[in-house]
């Protein structure tokens, strides 16, 4: 028939309606019954505007024997979005269509495991945000292709390149399996809702391979990945909470590595003193304290956002602002393992410092670390290797590091809190103490034979400890310029702010990809 605008626009409307039906009303209703949004609803809630790409991509839906059932829209929705006035590449699997399986039926992938949405982020140098809910693989794909394809034919190159170029944020709601799970962790920040699951292979595969009969939550529930494996950074109550966390993290990060992070509100007085610090930090050096409360006193009001709170608990990490400058915060947590750096905390530091260095966020590190964690569990957990990786993370960081010595700083773990090879400013509070070993344990290790041979071992040990404590007086180190400055804790905010402001010019000279590529650091 001859062309008419009426017919052409009618066909356009029909295809738009088909795309918005997703996998059909029955599957959409089931998604809603499970307390989840569809992919289009997620995009609408997160983005102020959305220019979809590939809206009319579709495939022939057939049954297991190859009989045609009809047309179905693609299992991926993606495009250019706006979040808080910023352009981002945004996409996600549509679980109502073949469980969000990869789009092997298309000439070009739309996203998820490579594809258009990742190319968009790369070419336009804009952040990439992805909703992850998919089965990761699909046996039906080989029926469409006419052969089984070798998975190594799939390129992950773009996914890894993006980690050194733009912020990549991922959210899991529902199930992320196989390749979808793998793509989730290739990110700078990840969050999953508490009712979600993630695994390399699901319960049926585990039962067949290992004979283990597990529920999907026992195998890869959100508590496992946010509190035990550490594969996902944060836990969210629901999808709205998860999307708000993504929006918050994005606010601290630049559009790409060629730009500076956006400076925030500066209404909190930079010269504000934190008198409450003198009550937060106990005078009794053996008593722990609430480190998050301490951090919140120093940074801009209500600006601290924690990352990874349920995993690697002896180290607190998160984003904040000081005089509006986005910074990465690390702080020893004496409420867990006494603040000792175990393998999990060290890995957590590596990942977080890499992100800060990649996106030009200065680091402020509050130190109260008695050393690497010791004991059989720590050794089996590879604490030494991971601990040295944590040291490496700061040695290689190409951003200013301001270290605040709060209390303890003993052993090799202290090397993971600052880098003497760069202009890392080390500030100490009068409550600080440091050395190769804590005096009590160090005296026992270094003078055991003398103590045992003494007429009064208890009195001799006490005398040695008193002498060592006198030599460990932090003022002696300050006099020797072994630490750059000793300050009143209440003056920490203005002192740190002054150096951060002065450092911005140096940071700007290093815009662009770092000398060392961002990595997962196995």
Residues contacting residue 357 through CB under 8 Å, at least 6 positions apart: 393, 396, 397, 398, 399, 514
Smallest CA-to-CA distance from 393 within 383, 404, 382, 401 is with 401
Rounded Cα distance between 101 and 138, Å, is 6
How many residues would you count in the chain?
522
> Tens digit of pLDDT for each residue in 420-465?
877 789 999 999 988 866 655 555 656 677 766 677 776 667 766 6
DSSP calls for 139-167: THHHHHHTSPPPGGGS--HHHHHHTTTS-
pLDDT score for 276 = 94
pLDDT score for 252 = 98
pLDDT score for 470 = 65
If phi over 0 gives left and psi between -120 and 50 gives alpha, with beta otherwise, what is residue 502? Answer: alpha
Smallest CA-to-CA distance from 410 within 368, 459, 380 is with 368
Q: Which residues of the chain have pLDDT under 70?
A: 1, 62-66, 69-70, 100, 103, 136-150, 152-153, 436-447, 451-453, 458-460, 463-472, 514-522
Question: Which domains can be identified in the chain, with CATH numbers?
Answer: 5-252 (3.90.226.10), 277-432+483-508 (3.90.226.10), 437-473 (no CATH)
Number of neighbouring beta carbons within 10 Å of residue 286: 7
| Distance, CA of 385 to chain centre | 21
pLDDT score for 232 = 97
Separate counts of helices (H) and strands (E) for the chain: 21, 18
pLDDT score for 28 = 87
Integer angstrom CA distances of residue 264 from 166, 188, 253, 493: 20, 21, 11, 16
pLDDT score for 473 = 80
Contact call for residues 324 and 303 (beta carbons, < 8 A): no
Rounded Cα distance between 160 and 322, Å, is 31
User: By three-state DSSP, how is residue 451 classified?
Assistant: helix
Rounded Cα distance between 307 and 232, Å, is 10
Rounded Cα distance between 235 and 333, Å, is 20
Contact call for residues 494 and 485 (beta carbons, < 8 A): no
| Gap between the terminal Cα atoms of the chain | 61
DSSP calls for 378-414: HHHTTHHHHHHHHHHHHHH--S-EEEEEEEEEESGGG
pLDDT score for 257 = 96
Contact call for residues 120 and 90 (beta carbons, < 8 A): no
pLDDT score for 409 = 92
| pTM, 2 dp | 0.90
Tell me the residue ranges of DSSP E strands in 49-167: 49-53, 58-62, 68-73, 76-83, 86-93, 128-134
């Amino acid at each position: 028939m001859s062309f008419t605008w009426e017919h052409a626009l009618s066909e356009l409307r029909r295809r738009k309606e088909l795309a918005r039906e997703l996998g059909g009303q029955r599957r959409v209703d089931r998604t809603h019954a499970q307390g989840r949004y569809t992919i289009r609803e997620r995009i609408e809630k997160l983005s102020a505007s959305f220019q979809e790409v590939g809206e009319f991509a579709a495939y022939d839906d057939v049954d297991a024997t190859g009989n045609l059932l009809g047309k179905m829209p693609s299992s991926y929705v993606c495009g250019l979005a706006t979040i808080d006035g910023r352009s981002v590449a945004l996409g996600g699997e549509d679980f109502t269509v073949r469980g969000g399986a990869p789009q092997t039926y298309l000439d070009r992938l739309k996203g998820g495991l490579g594809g258009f949405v990742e190319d968009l982020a790369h070419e336009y140098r804009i952040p990439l945000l992805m909703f992850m809910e998919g089965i990761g693989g699909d046996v039906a794909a080989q029926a469409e292709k006419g052969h089984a394809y070798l998975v190594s034919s799939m390129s992950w190159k773009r996914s890894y390149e993006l980690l050194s170029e733009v912020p990549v944020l991922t959210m899991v709601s529902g199930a992320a399996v196989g390749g979808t799970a793998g793509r989730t962790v290739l990110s700078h920040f990840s969050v999953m809702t508490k009712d979600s699951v993630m695994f390399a292979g699901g319960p049926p595969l585990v039962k067949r391979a290992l004979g283990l009969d597990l529920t999907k939550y026992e195998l890869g529930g959100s508590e496992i990945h946010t509190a035990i494996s550490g594969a996902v950074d944060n836990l969210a109550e629901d999808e709205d909470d998860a999307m708000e966390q993504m929006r918050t993290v994005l606010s601290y990060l630049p559009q790409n590595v060629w730009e500076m992070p956006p400076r925030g509100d500066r209404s909190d007085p930079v010269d504000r003193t934190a008198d409450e610090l003198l009550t937060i930090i106990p005078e009794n050096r053996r008593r722990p304290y609430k480190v998050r409360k301490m951090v919140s006193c120093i940074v801009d009001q209500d600006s601290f956002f924690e990352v990874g709170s349920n995993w690697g608990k002896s180290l607190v990490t998160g984003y904040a602002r000081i005089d509006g400058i986005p910074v990465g915060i690390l702080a020893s947590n004496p409420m867990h393992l006494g603040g000792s750096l175990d393998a999990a905390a060290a890995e957590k530091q590596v990942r977080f410092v890499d992100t800060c260095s990649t996106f030009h966020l200065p680091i402020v590190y509050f130190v109260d670390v008695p050393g690497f964690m010791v004991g059989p569990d720590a050794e089996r957990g590879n604490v030494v290797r991971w601990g040295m990786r944590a040291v490496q993370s700061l040695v290689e960081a190409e951003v200013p590091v301001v270290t605040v010595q709060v209390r303890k700083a003993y052993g090799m773990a202290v090397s993971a809190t600052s880098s003497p090879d760069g202009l890392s400013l080390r500030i100490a509070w009068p409550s600080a103490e440091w050395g190769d070993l804590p005096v009590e344990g160090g005296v026992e290790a270094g003078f055991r034979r003398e103590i045992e041979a003494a007429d009064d071992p208890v009195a001799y040990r006490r005398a040695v400890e008193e002498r060592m404590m006198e030599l460990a007086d932090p003022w002696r180190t300050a006099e020797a310029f072994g630490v750059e400055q000793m300050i009143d804790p209440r003056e920490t905010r203005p002192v740190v702010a002054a150096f951060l402001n002065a450092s911005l010019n140096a940071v700007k000279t290093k815009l662009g990809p770092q000398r060392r590529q961002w990595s997962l650091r196995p």
